Copies of this chain bind each other. A is one copy, B any other.
């Protein structure tokens, strides 16, 4: 399963009203489209721009509307923390604040080498919950709360803007409005509301205590004293955001009888795959250029195919080109990726080529435009689509499907699905 992050686009005038995918020379992807069945896919739902995490949840057969409450759990799983359903997890940033707690830099100038800070913050103990804190890459980290009576329904401490003061974490819940209120009282909803609110208030208090303790530890830490000496902004605050509760996801193995692995550099994607019970394969060498990164990842995916029934290969770069608004760079990258995929297309029994979301270079953000998808392999009802592109796929035999239907379709083609009924 090849997922090209943000490769889909909209027609661009400079490209002769073609999309980058339509404009690029992609003989391998086109060959795949020719021997497979094509279609359009709303990764989440029509009109809903997907995030990376929600998109991959859907691509692995889960309903993001049911299981997703925030990015935190997937960051934490991506960082390799063993999570339990019910844990509350947050994305954290090492940031720079001044004495008045005004944010000077949300990433402490993309601080590196924060291992000593991780160890110091990891010592924090507070009554009411266990805290698990772990660095990921650079200024990024993740915080997990484990215990009874906790909630993800709290606000961020990250003001998301430079110059603003760090925010107190607060319970997110509002009492139902008047019409709903009467109904809520009648149906016992108020008692549930009060319980939720109490858990959220406890969690907010814990997070505020944690933030204060972390700030005290960080601001006086030798690592930061050293940075200040060098004229660098100290990593003296942990900004929290994206709180979510760890859902119970039935693993792929239990659901489809499929042993799966993923090859992905993005922590969020890795996190989703891990929570789906897949083995996330690290490709440490793949941090260089797009080219070396890709061939190392393709090699890793080929190797993973020897011991797994499903390998998800997440290919980055398109999304970055789109965020930069660079159509020409996107076309070039698509052509390079097309060549790199050839060995994988040859090796796998079934191939799914898909995209997690559209990122138009004209918009520079994820949009909801459906993405082209092709499934190739034995028994597939190959259609007469001969090119892999947004508009070509619309004429394919899959018509228009949802992201969460993709894996069940593939699983049945692989002979792994069970009949519903007699």
Q: Which residues of A contact B (CB under 8 A)?
A: 10-11, 17, 19, 40, 44-55, 64, 68, 71, 74, 84-86, 91, 148, 177, 179-180, 182, 186-187, 192, 195, 242, 248, 268, 360, 362-363, 365-369, 379-383, 390-391, 394-402, 405, 407-413, 415, 417-422
Of A186, A369, A391, A420, chain B has the most CB atoms within 10 Å of the CB of: A420
> Are B394's CB and A52's CB within 8 A?
no
Decide yes or no: A368 and B417 within 8 Å by CB, A195-B186, A360-B379, A422-B51 being known contacts.
yes
Q: Which chain B residues lie closer than 8 Å to A68 at the CB level?
A: 420-421
Question: Which of chain B's residues has its CB closest to A85's CB?
Answer: B179
Interface SS, A side:
loop
Q: Which chain B residues lie closer than 8 Å to A415 at the CB level?
A: 363
For this chain, the copies found in one complex come to: 2
Nearest Cβ on chain B to A190's Cβ, whole angstroms:
14
Decide yes or no: A49 and B381 within 8 Å by CB, A84-B179, A179-B248, A368-B412 being known contacts.
no
A-B pairs with beta carbons under 8 Å apart, 15 shown: A11-B381, A47-B412, A51-B420, A53-B421, A55-B421, A91-B422, A148-B182, A187-B192, A362-B379, A368-B408, A368-B409, A383-B391, A391-B397, A394-B399, A399-B399
Nearest Cβ on chain B to A242's Cβ, whole angstroms:
6
15 extra A-B contacts, CB within 8 A, seeds A40-B397, A52-B421, A394-B397: A10-B381, A11-B382, A19-B381, A47-B405, A50-B419, A55-B421, A148-B182, A242-B422, A360-B379, A362-B379, A366-B419, A368-B408, A368-B409, A369-B412, A383-B394
